[in-house]
Amino acid sequence: MEVVTFGESMVLFSSDKNLPLEYVHQFNKQMAGAESNVAIGLAKLGHRVGWFSKLGDDPFGRYVLHQIRGYGIDISRCRHTGDAPTGVYFKEQRTKGKTQVYYYRRHSAASMMHPDELDEAYLAGFKILHITGITPALSPDCLALTRKAVASARKLGLKIVFDPNVRWKLWDSEEAAKEVLLELAGSADYILPGLDEGELLTGCTQPEDIASALLKPGAAGVVVKLGSKGAYFKSEQDSGYMAPFPAEEVDPVGAGDAFAAGFISGLLHGETLEQAVRRASAMGAIAVSVNGDVEGLPNEAELLDMMKGDQDYQNVKR
């Protein structure tokens, strides 16, 4: 196995009409969650992935599990509970490219994940642990679980990829978020903040300064995501800006998860930091051009076809 990740996946209800939700009467049912989005992106690229969570013993929980398992992802460490429901959320799109989400996840089954439920022997079978800042914000037990997973991964020699992925509705305060996210960033090998997240963590406003502040001794790299302006990457050996792939934005939700999946895929292929960021940028561009978090994510051949058409990528030695 190659990559393991964990966190909350919810049922998503969205409308194809650009209207406020109070005027929408029919919804499309989908499944989404940052960590499972990354897992699915990696699985579609041909990687061997494991994902675990806690789901409600309800129809939505069964739906989520069936969806994720359908991509060939190992879900053998998932748990169920009858004490709490599977979370849901609604997506509102009033104008093209402008999306608002409404979460109904408080006291959900996933928030009841507990550190004692972590199977360390299971983690030992992987190369990379992917974590986000969402899971530790769900509950004190989820924070403890994340800390235990990170400690176990470091002991076992797994590389840790951390995406801060701030969800302000889950945090009590900016100070609480900053403290926890800096702690996790300090334990990670690769850190993937957005520009706003980097400013929160470091107080810096420029990508170069953010990356320098987060690149602790021994870290393998920091990548600051700049949305439509591309990305900035930095390691002890290299640094630079990566131009974005052209894309017509249809739905920006899930772009960061696609970016993370592409980046981790590059690491698994033995690519340099620059090459991995190029692969990540291509994945992000594909994600924003399709409605839905994972439905439009490419397989390996489709991703490479897109990248071969980009002159900057062709100039990178492979």
Catalogue the active-site residues. Answer: 257
Phi-psi map region of 138: left, alpha, beta (phi>0 left; psi -120 to 50 alpha): alpha
Residues in contact with 72: Cβ distance below 8 Å, sequence separation at least 6, in sequence order: 43, 49
Gap between the terminal Cα atoms of the chain: 24
Residue 172 · residue 141 · CB < 8 Å:
no
- Secondary structure (H, E, C), the chain: CCEEEECCCEEEEECCCCCCHHHCCCCEEEEECHHHHHHHHHHHCCCCEEEECEEECCHHHHHHHHHHHCCCCECCCCEEECCCCCCEEEEEEEECCEEEEEEECCCCCHHHCCHHHCCHHHHCCCCEEEEECCHHHHCHHHHHHHHHHHHHHHHHCCEEEEECCCCHHHCCCHHHHHHHHHHHHHHCCEECCEHHHHHHHHCCCCHHHHHHHHCCCCCCEEEEECHHHCEEEECCCCEEEECCCCCCCCCCCCHHHHHHHHHHHHHHCCCCHHHHHHHHHHHHHHHHCCCCCCCCCCCHHHHHHHHHCCHHHHCCCC
